[in-house]
Amino acid sequence: MSMRNDSQAIVHQKQLSFGHLIITLYPNGDYPAIGGMRRIEYANLEAAMMDCKNLALSMLHKASAHDLPLSGGKAVIFCTNEVWSLHRVQILKEAALFIESLKGKYITAIDMGTNMKDMDQISLITKHVCAHSMHDQTTYYTALGVYHALKAACQWSKIDLDSANILIEGLGQVSTALIEILSSNHTSTIYGLDINPERFESFIEKVVPYQPGQKVDIFCPNATGGTVSKKRILDIGCNLVCGAANNQLAQGETIPSLPCVTVQDYIANGGGLIYVFHQLQKSSEKTLQNHIQSIHNKTIEFLQTMYHAKNAN
């Protein structure tokens, strides 16, 4: 195991029997960090470490934005898809042992490429885990938070959500919940975009496959980060960007420079973190719901700040 202090970040790297585990922490006093464990394929170890660092910093911003007494943290498992398929249980066991050695400084959770069953496996070894079977609504509350942010941003932008065309990029766990919420409450036309065409089979009659060149009103980036740019916005013609992906902006882009209303990712996607925090605190249902609903006002406040910043320049 190696550990280094990279500016404010504390980076832990553990050689596993099959691959590497990276955990990056951005301390906020003595508060623990809650952050997901990501398992996707990366070009190389350096790319995995950079993604982990960026995601951990985003978690710090997310906790601060939603008034949560937490540090920022994230874990990334670096291995090939084949290795993950063959040795998943062993990798999770070794990751859990290392998380336990951190003595509560980092609490892991689901993320891209991991699921509730993985967290159940980890919970057999360490208590420093959430989003397992006892916290089975993490994905739903992430989607619900995005929905509150989306409604607030539509209100701000004067977009009718019932008649809007919405492009959802990435048809994973959060998008599944968000599509259900949207289709149950609105008559929006939902377009989907995913690198895996088989995922569309789960959304028959609810999602239309997106075709290049189609124009939409709203773009919800719910996959990997780095997909939001001025060019992309102009290509799809959207007036609003609001989604669950972390670190959505392409390299070199800033929200004030984008040609449409854009909600900061850690404002929109804070619902899952809020949910697991209150589960760990054993908060009341009313406390949880009030905190989730506060994402609406947080979104309005953020958009007001961006509006005044743009007008000041």
Task: Write down the residue that tokens 């084949």 correspond to.
Answer: 82
Write the burial class of residue 206 (CB in 10 Å: 0-12 exposed, 13-18 middle, 19+ buried): middle
Q: How far apart are CA 64 and CA 5, in angstroms?
A: 21
User: In this structure, what are the phi and psi dihedrals at residue 135, rounded to the nearest 5 degrees?
Assistant: -125, 60
Contact 47, 33 (CB under 8 A): no
Q: The domain at 138-312 falls in which architecture?
A: 3-Layer(aba) Sandwich (3.40)
Band (pLDDT 50/70/90 cuts) for residue 5 is low
Query: How many other CB atoms are there within 10 angstroms of residue 86's CB atom?
Result: 13
Homologous superfamily (CATH) for 2-134: Leucine Dehydrogenase, chain A, domain 1 (3.40.50.10860)
Over 70: is that where the pLDDT of 201 sits? yes
**What percent of the chain is modeled with pLDDT above 70?**
97
pLDDT, tens digit (0-9, with 9 covering 90-100), for 64-91: 999 999 999 999 999 999 999 999 999 9
pLDDT, tens digit (0-9, with 9 covering 90-100), for 15-50: 999 999 999 999 999 999 999 999 999 999 999 999
Per CATH, 2-134 and 138-312 having the same topology is answered yes
User: In what order do the strands lie in the sheet containing 106-109?
Assistant: 2-6, 9-16, 19-26, 72-78, 33-38, 106-109
What residues contact 60, with CB distance under 8 A and at least 6 apart?
26, 28, 33, 71, 72
Over 90: is that where the pLDDT of 107 sits? yes
Helix (H) / strand (E) element for 306: namely: helix 285-312
Where do the domains of the chain lie?
Answer: 2-134, 138-312
Token output for 94: 């070794």
Contact 262, 282 (CB under 8 A): no
Closest CA to 215 of 236, 188, 232: 236
Over 60: is that where the pLDDT of 268 sits? yes
Calculate mean pLDDT across residues 92-104: 98
The angle, 0 to 180 degrees and rounded to 10, between the axes of the packed helices 138-157 and 285-312 is: 40
